[in-house]
Amino acid sequence: MTTECNQESLVFQPLGRREVVGRFDGGKITSDAGALLLRETERVSGVLGRFAACFTDHRDPDLIEHTVSELVAQRVYGLCLGYEDLNDHDALRHDPLLAVLVGKLDPTGEDRTRQRDKGKPLAGKSTLNRLELTPVRADAGSRYKKITVQRKAVQDFFVDAFLQAHESPPPWIILDLDATDIPLHGHQAGRFFHGYYDNYCYLPLYIFCGDHLLCAKLRPSNLDASTGTLKEVQRIVAAIRERFPTTPILLRADSGFCREPIMAWCERNDVHYLLGLAKNDRLLREIADELAQAKGRFEETGKPARVFKEFRYSTLDSWSGERRVIAKAEHLDKGSNPRFVVTSLPSDEFPAQATYEETYCARGDMENRIKEQQLGLFADRTSAATMRANELRLWFSSAAYVLMTALRRRGLQGTELAQAQCDTIRLKLLKIGARIRVTVRKVWVSLAEGFPYRDVFRRIHQNLIRQTPIPLRC
């Protein structure tokens, strides 16, 4: 006899004599209950509040139901939870748990003004896209899109978040610079073909200090990787010096940033640099003996061999003077592998081999941070028609990264997930099933009893609730 079922039932393979039937009738249930940790992180760090302050709302306050702070929080929390598209929010707007995160006093949406919105406490995609699609010069007289963003305020927000994460001056501040590609598959403004990446793309500039993001700048790809870098470095260094005037600063990057204006500015302003240097015939002749020595060692041992050398070097016409260069003469199975860096670090305090192997090579960790943001927090979702809208998407992703890393630093310390990347944090801590019950006095969140990281979750919760909020700097 065929099993009878209605349209809402999902019949699965039976378990012995028992039928297995699924229905979407569990009531108010969320799959993202662990995001309450993000809300506690926001309480102590103020990340979303400061980011929302970068926007100006020209709408009539008597005619709106979703404030800018709520819209910004909804968008950023959505990215943290893995919902990369605005379309996702047409379903998410029903979620009472996300409404709690955003700060909606009516998390069920039953008090909404219009009948069609009842039961939907949050904004849908049409309201959220006003954040991205508002023209630069919009004001109160504009017809539909009236929420503008101040570029300088956003730039300052990332640097301020970094500075406020340090209660005392760190011994060194190392600023890592890098450019990467965001592939484009449409005809967005600023779309150009890049020969190195072999695709149409944007070429954003990133500046990190450890896992702290200090700059995310969207750029077209028809320019040099270092374009605009000096201006951003000057701005960031000035802010750091105001807060930590005696802390030494080091700029670290690959050869794409080895440019005379950057190095000359660093030398004039007491900022150290350690930059990759593209090889050429003159540099290779300088280490010919060391390359031969490395090759001899490789042939004797069959293992990779390295020989280091440092010397003074200047280009024929582009540099203003001689600078310290460290060379790595290396021989591998595939043959010779010479590498060069140029630096202002003094040789008596920073020996050649240690400077290259321990200090310069450590910049590779920045690539992991970029991957966290682009792959885990969807910074590559730049499908809007305009550069402004796509840069704002990059900033939303960057704000989500700042919030997630704040959770990692403030909540996960001392746990087995202390070094977890953003996508791992989402999978293991944020994606928890829970039933939501809203009463007059409480919002009950009944977490899944079978959650495998419940002990870790409790420790993280304790780490966060005993912290006091960071005071905002004027």
For 199-245, how does the pLDDT look when each residue is reduced to its tens digit (9 = 90+)? 999 999 999 999 999 999 999 999 999 999 999 999 999 999 999 99
Q: Is 88 helix (H, G, I), strand (E, B) or coil?
A: helix
Res 179 pLDDT > 70: yes
* Predicted confidence band of residue 141 (pLDDT cuts 50, 70, 90): confident
Q: What is the pLDDT of residue 28?
A: 87
Encoding tokens for residue 206? Answer: 């990133």
The pLDDT tens digits of the residues spanning 330-348 come to: 999 999 999 999 999 999 9
Q: What is the pLDDT of residue 4?
A: 47
The pLDDT tens digits of the residues spanning 428-470 come to: 999 999 999 999 899 999 999 999 999 999 999 999 999 988 7
Q: Is 12 helix (H, G, I), strand (E, B) or coil?
A: strand
Mean pLDDT of all residues belonging to the chain: 93
DSSP letter, residue 62? G
- Across the range 277-301, mean pLDDT stands at 96
SS3 content of the chain, % helix, strand, coil (to 5): 40, 20, 40
Q: What is the pLDDT of residue 472?
A: 57
Res 474 pLDDT > 80: no
Give Cα separations from 27 to 5, 9, 64, 93, 439 (angstroms): 20, 15, 29, 15, 15
Residue 297 to residue 405: CA distance in whole angstroms: 44
Res 317 pLDDT > 70: yes
Neighbour tally for 130: CB within 10 Å: 19
Where do we find the tokens 């991957």? 371
- Across the range 360-366, mean pLDDT stands at 93
Of 68 and 144, which is predicted with more confidence? 68
Residue 460 to residue 76: CA distance in whole angstroms: 21
Q: What is the pLDDT of residue 113?
A: 85
The pLDDT tens digits of the residues spanning 39-79 come to: 999 999 999 999 999 999 999 988 899 999 999 999 999 99
Please name the amino acid found at residue 322: E
Q: What is the pLDDT of residue 1?
A: 41
300-307 own/partner pairs: CB under 8 Å, 24+ apart: 304/330, 304/331, 304/332, 304/333, 305/330, 305/331, 306/330, 306/353
Res 259 pLDDT > 70: yes
The answer to whether the beta carbons of residues 285 and 307 sit under 8 Å apart is no
Question: Which sign does the torsion angle of CA 265, 267, 271, 276 carry?
Answer: positive
Encoding tokens for residue 392? Answer: 């704002």
CA dihedral 280, 284, 286, 288 (to 10 degrees): -170
Q: Is the pTM of this model over 0.85?
A: yes
